[in-house]
Structure 1
Amino acid sequence: METRSNHVLVGVAVLALLAALLVFTVWLARVSGGSEKEYDVFFKQAVDGIAKGSSVTFSGVPSGQVKEIALWRNDPQFVRVRISVKEETPILQGTTATIEGVGFTGVSQIQLDGAIKGAPPITDLGPGGVPVIPTKPGALGELLNSAPKLLERLTTLTERLTELLGDKNQASIAGILANVERLSDALADRGPEIAATLAQTRIAIQQAGDAAEEIGKLAGTSNALIANDAKPLLAELRRTVKAAGQSMETLDTTIKQAQPGVRAFSNQTIPEAGLLIRDLREMAESLNAVAERVNHGGAGSLVGSRKLPDYKGPKK
């Protein structure tokens, strides 16, 4: 009977210890969970080197670890990585996540940075029920993403180089090099002539400079002549123009005053002069007729009529 009682007491004590251990574990989990925050990061690139338990750093300072990594069901192009970081880590607006390699081991980590001072923390819940940290392509990610384009460009460049270095183009390049060599030899043979030409060109340039200097001096002399000798002539010309202007004004005034007399002369004197000229013409014609009569008939023709000759009949 006593042995059974001892076994019961031992069983109760063991159960009590197990319960206490379970309560302590739950409390420890709550305490540890309360000091960390979880975030989701959606990467649209390969996450090679990232696994559950990988390190999460903020500006290079270890701040947490990867809790879960899986494809996102709504869009398989994205990889959802859930991370947990320390509660005091400043996950503020502007914070971004990138994947960075650690040395040459092939292991990668998630790097957080870019938090803006004074900005509010990231609290908007994402589709996974926790806040989402936006991503930024890292150096390795950009290199991997641009690798296909880089290979395509290298392939195109290789093809063009192959076409450029074909047999036909090689022959053309050889001809060009031969022509260049002949031109170089010709220039080398003409070296003394080219040197003499350059010397003559230098002399011509010097002479042109001297001529330009002389032209400058002549221009200065001309300016001095115009400034000193032409001033009196310009003043005299100005006075002459002024006097001519005054004369024109006087002539204009005289013409305006003579306009009434000219108008009367045109309307009255000219018609009367016309009548006088007509009378004088008629009188001249009459005098001309009288003169002719005197010439033919003498002065008596002016008094009586001209006598007719006597008529004599025929002889019997």
Structure 2
Amino acid sequence: METRSNHVLVGAVVLILLAVLALFIVWLARVNSSADKEYDILFKQAVDGIAKGSPVAFSGVPSGQVKEIALFRPDPEFVRVRITVNQDVPILQGTTASIQGIGFTGVSQISLDGAVKDAPPIACPSENASASCPFGVPLIPTRTGGLGAILSSAPQLLERLTTLTERLTGLLSDRNQNSIAAILENTGRLTDALADRGPEIAATLAETRIAIQRAGVAAEQIGQLAGTTNQVLANDVQPAMANLNKAIASAQKSAESLDGAITDARPGLQAFSKQTIPEVGQLVQDLRQMTEALSAVAERVNRGGAGSLVGSQKLPDYEPAN
């Protein structure tokens, strides 16, 4: 009986110690969990490489781990990731989250960065908390990390690579290859022809250099001639222009004097046109009539002599017919 009672006492003591140990572990877990802070992150991209227990780093310093991964039910385009971080990690306004790969193993981590000094911490507001914190914990905004940028731009990159490949394929078709070969062959022939014409090209370049030098000398001479011409214009043409201006002024004065004389003679001219011209016309008509009469007298003198002016014209003798 004593042996059985000893075994029961030992078993009871062991059970009590195990219960106390379990309670201590639970208390320690609660204490540790209460020391951590929880945040939600909504990623609008694939979260490949992230799993429950994946590390969370703040500016490269390990600061927590991923606690939960689930789809965001109001909008399945997003993935909700809940993280726990240490109490002393400064999750302030301006802090953002991104996914970054760790080496080439395919494993990724949540990277936090961008805290602003003296900024307030990210927390759920007292008003309208359901909109800002739909799951009861603050939200950390996201930014596109290196892996996210690569994954988001991968379709465009593949499309551009496909387009480039198609264009290269069209460029390197058989027809274009023949054309390129013909161009290269013609280029080779042109190179050989230029090599053969090397001395002639050198002579042409030398002549061109001499022609350029002569052109420079001619340009200098033209400049000197222009200077001489300017000097001649300054010395000779300017006095001539002054004399010409004087002559023009004198001619203008003469024209003004003539205009005044014409103005003064205008009444006499009007009287001459109204009185003298008709009288001259009558005189011309009388002279014409006198000329006709003199012509008739001269004709009579020519026919009958001077006696025809005194008597009448003698009739011819009439002889009767037998």
The TM-score bracket by the shorter chain reads: 0.7 to 0.9
Instruction: String of CA shifts for 1:3-27, please: whole Å, max 9, x gaps.
Output: 9xxx9xx99xx69x96xx57x928x
- In the alignment, the residues of structure 1 paired with residue 288 and residue 186 of structure 2 have an alpha-carbon distance, to the nearest angstrom, of 112
The 3 A distance-change label for structure 1 pair 52 and 314 is closer
Show the 5 A alignment for 1:26-41: 29=30, 32=32, 35-41=35-41
Within 2, Cα distance between the matches of 1:186 and 1:135? 62
Taking the TM superposition and a 5 Å limit, the aligned residue runs for 1:97-246 are 97-124=97-124, 125-151=132-158, 153-154=160-161, 169=174, 173=177, 176-177=180-181, 180-181=184-185, 184=188, 187-188=191-192, 190=193, 193-246=196-249
User: Which blocks of at least 5 consecutive residues in structure 2 are unaligned?
Assistant: 125-131
- The farther-off stretch of 280-289 and 267-276 is 280-289
Equivalent in the alignment of 1:61? 61
Question: Which of 20, 24, 27 is residue 25 of structure 1 equivalent to?
Answer: 27
TM-score (norm 1): 0.73
Q: Deviations over 1:129-158 (max 9, x none)?
A: 222112122222333344445455555655
Where does residue 274 of structure 1 map in the other structure? 277
RMSD: 4.2
Question: Aligned AA for 1:248?
Answer: A
Compute the TM-score of the two structures, normalised by the length of structure 2: 0.72
Report the identity percentage: 41
Count residues in correspondence.
295
Matching residue's letter, 2:255: D
User: Residues 150 and 257 (structure 1 numbering): CA distance in 2 closer, same or farther, change over 3 Å?
Assistant: closer
Cα distance in structure 1, aligned partners of 2:296 and 2:27: 179
**Partner Cα distance (1:160, 1:285) in 2:** 111
> What is the CA distance between 1:165 and its match in structure 2?
6.0
Tell me how far 1:108 sits from its aligned partner: 2.0
Runs of 5+ unmatched residues, structure 1: none
User: Are the structure 2 counterparts of residues 38 and 207 from structure 1 closer, same or farther at C-alpha, using a change threshold of 3 Å?
Assistant: same
Partner of 2:48: 48
Q: Distance in 2 between matches of 1:230 and 1:254?
A: 34
- Equivalent AA in structure 2 for residue 95 of structure 1: T
Cα drift, residue 95 of structure 1: 2.0
Deviation at 1:218, TM superposition (A): 1.4
- After TM superposition, the structure 1 stretch with the greater mean CA deviation from structure 2, 273-282 or 35-44, is 273-282
CA contact (8 A) 1:294 1:301 kept: no
Amino acid at match of 1:122: I
Aligned partners of 1:293 and 1:301 also within 8 Å: no
Shift of 1:273: 2.1
* Separation of aligned partners in 1, 2:106 and 2:38: 26
1:283-298 correspondence runs (5 A):
283-285=286-288, 287-288=290-291, 291=294, 296=300
Hey, what's the Cα distance between the residues in 2 that align with 1:224 and 1:34? 100
- Per-residue deviation, 1:68: 1.7
